[in-house]
Structure 1
C-alpha cells in the first residue's frame, strides 16, 4: 500500500529478511514448528464457512456426510468435502493473485491506502477461508475502525457491511449455533445472511480499492506561476503624481 520507490523496496526486503530469520529460528528451536501446515491441509470445511453453505443446503436433499469436532472446530466430513475445501483454497489463491495484480498496477497512493489495502486483504482471505470462526470478525472490525478514522478512506460501506455481519455472527454463535450445526431453517438463514454480507463487503472493498488507486488519475502538483512584470512593461506604467 505504499508508493513505488527505494523506500518501498527497502521495506519489503527488510520484512522478508526478518520473516525468513524468524522462521529459521523457530524451526531450529522447536522441531515440528511447521506441523500446522499439515493440519491445515487435512482440515475439512468448517460449518460456518462460505463453502459450508453447499452442505447445509445439500443436507436438505439427503447428503450422507456428518458434522464432527475436527482439528478444534465443528466441520463437515463426508462425500465431496475435499472438493469443496480445494475450491475454497482456490478462491484464496485467486484473492492473492488479485491483490498481487492490484499492487503492480496501483498508481495513486493516499493517506488511507495502506489501511484500505490491509482491510481488503484480510476481508478477502477471511471470506474465502475454509474456516470462519467468530473471532475472525474481530480482525475485520479492528481494521474497519482504522479505515474509518482516516478521512481519505472510501471503505465506509464495506465497514458497515462487516459490522452488520459481526452482529449476525453473534446471533449464530453462540446463540443459535445448534441451528447452524443441524442445518435447520434458522441456521440456513443465519449462514446465508452472514456469509452474504461478507461476500458483498469483499466485492465492494476490492472494487473501491481498485477504483481509488488504479483507475484514479495520478495526482500531480500543479504550480501556477504568477506572470512577472517585465521591465519594459513597468517602464510603460504611468508615474504616480507627486
Structure 2
C-alpha cells in the first residue's frame, strides 16, 4: 500500500474494549480467583481461615442481632440500624457457615450489579465503560469488597441512581426510598440527594426519602433495643492512620513526634499532640464541603439526567477526603458511583473516574500489602504510597468539584 494511503488510514481500535461481553468475561475470570481467595480456600490462601472482619466482627454482630438487639456496647458498631440487614442476610443460607454465607451474599450482590450494568448497556444503549470499570476496578481492590458490607450499600445507591434516570412519574419517589434505605445502612447515600433537579422532582424525592427513612427508623427502634445508638457512636472518632489528616503525623513520626497509633473504636488511629486539632480541622472541612454543595445547588441551572450521578460522586468524594477515616472499602463507594456516571456518555466526571481507578491500585498496595509497615514501622515506602493514594483522592475531589461547577452553568 502506498505511504500516502497509510497516512489517511484510521488507526486500529481495540474493538474488544467496546464489547460488553468482553467486560463480562474479564469480570468472570477475576471473580473465579477473587471469590475463592476471599473464602481463603486452599491452595489460594492458607488453611481456609476467613478475614477477621467477617469471621470475628460480623459473626459476633450476627449473633447479637439474631437475638433481637443491636450490639450497642461494642465500640466497633457505629452504624445506623439498617446495617443489620446485610449482617443478617447470610442467615438465609443456614446450610453454610456464617463466614462462607456472608461472602456468598456479597458475591451475589456483585453479580447482580454487573448484570444490571450490562442490561443498561445492551438494552438501553449506555456506555460500555461502566461495566468495564466495575469489573476491573473492583478486582484491583483485591478481596476487600467481598469481606465488607460496603458492596451491598453501594449496590443500593447505584440502583437508586439508575431508577432516577428513568424519569418516570414514580421514579423520584422510588429514588428517595432507596436513598433512605441506603442511608440507614451507611449514612453516605444521603448525599445522593444533593443533585436532584430543583422543583417538583426534589420535593418528591426528598419527601419520599424523609418518609421512608422515618418509617424504617421507627420500625427498627420499636423492634430492637439500641437502634439509635449510632447517633453518638462517632463522637469519639479520632484521625485514622490512612486518612488525609493523618499524613502530617506519618512524617512527624520521623521528626521526633511523641505520639503513636492506637487501636480505638474499631480502627487504628493516631493519638498524641496535635491530633485533636487536626480532627477538628477535618470536621471543619467537612462543613465547608457541605456549604460548597449548597452553593453549587443554588447556582446550578442545569437539569440534565447525568447531573444527578455526577453530583453524587462529587459529594461523596468531598466527604471522603475530609473524613477522619478513609478505609479501603470507601473506594467501593467511589467505584460504584463512578460506574453510574460512566453510563452516561455526557458525564463531566470521566477523568475523575480514571483517577479513582488508579487510586484503587495504591489502596490495595496500602492495605493489606504495606499496612503493617505503615502502622508499626512508619516505613518510608508505605508512607509514600499513602501520600500518592490520598493525593489522588484529593485531586479527584477537587477536579470533580470544578467540573461539576462548570457543568451546572447555563449555556455550558
2:9 is equivalent to residue 9 of structure 1: no
Cα offset, 1:200, TM superposition: 0.3
Cα distance in 2 for partners of 1:125, 1:160 equals 19
The range that moved more, 46-55 or 66-75, is 66-75
Cα offset, 1:4, TM superposition: 2.3
* From 209, 215, 225, the counterpart of 1:31: 225
2:267 aligns with 73
2:350 aligns with 156
The residue matched to 1:74 in structure 2 has which SS?
Answer: strand
Mapping 1:110-189, distance limit 5 Å: 110-181=304-375, 182-189=377-384
Cα distance in 1 for partners of 2:271, 2:231 equals 19
CA 1:30 to 1:86, structure 2 compared with 1: closer, same or farther past 3 Å? farther
2:404 is equivalent to residue 209 of structure 1: yes
- 8 Å CA contact 1:172–1:187 kept in 2: the answer is yes
Aligned length: 217
Flag structure 2 segments of 5+ consecutive residues without an equivalent: 1-194
2:216 is equivalent to residue 22 of structure 1: yes
* From 393, 400, 404, the counterpart of 1:198: 393
Cα distance in 1 for partners of 2:342, 2:371 equals 31
Cα offset, 1:117, TM superposition: 0.7
Cα offset, 1:110, TM superposition: 1.0
Flag structure 1 segments of 5+ consecutive residues without an equivalent: 219-242
Cα distance in 2 for partners of 1:32, 1:80 equals 34
Cα distance in 2 for partners of 1:192, 1:77 equals 20
Please give the per-residue CA displacement for 1:178-233, whole angstroms capped at 9, x wherever unaligned: 221132211220111000000000000011111001x2328xxxxxxxxxxxxxxx
2:239 is equivalent to residue 45 of structure 1: yes
TM-score, structure 2 normalization: 0.51
Cα distance in 2 for partners of 1:82, 1:28 equals 37
Cα distance in 1 for partners of 2:321, 2:382 equals 18
Cα distance in 2 for partners of 1:201, 1:187 equals 21
Cα distance in 1 for partners of 2:253, 2:330 equals 26
Please give the per-residue CA displacement for 1:5-32, whole angstroms capped at 9, x wherever unaligned: 2232122122122222323333333333
TM-score, structure 1 normalization: 0.85
Cα distance in 1 for partners of 2:233, 2:271 equals 15
The range that moved more, 189-198 or 95-104, is 95-104
Runs of 4+ in 1 over 6 A off after TM superposition: none
Mapping 1:81-92, distance limit 5 Å: 81-92=275-286
1:228 aligns with none
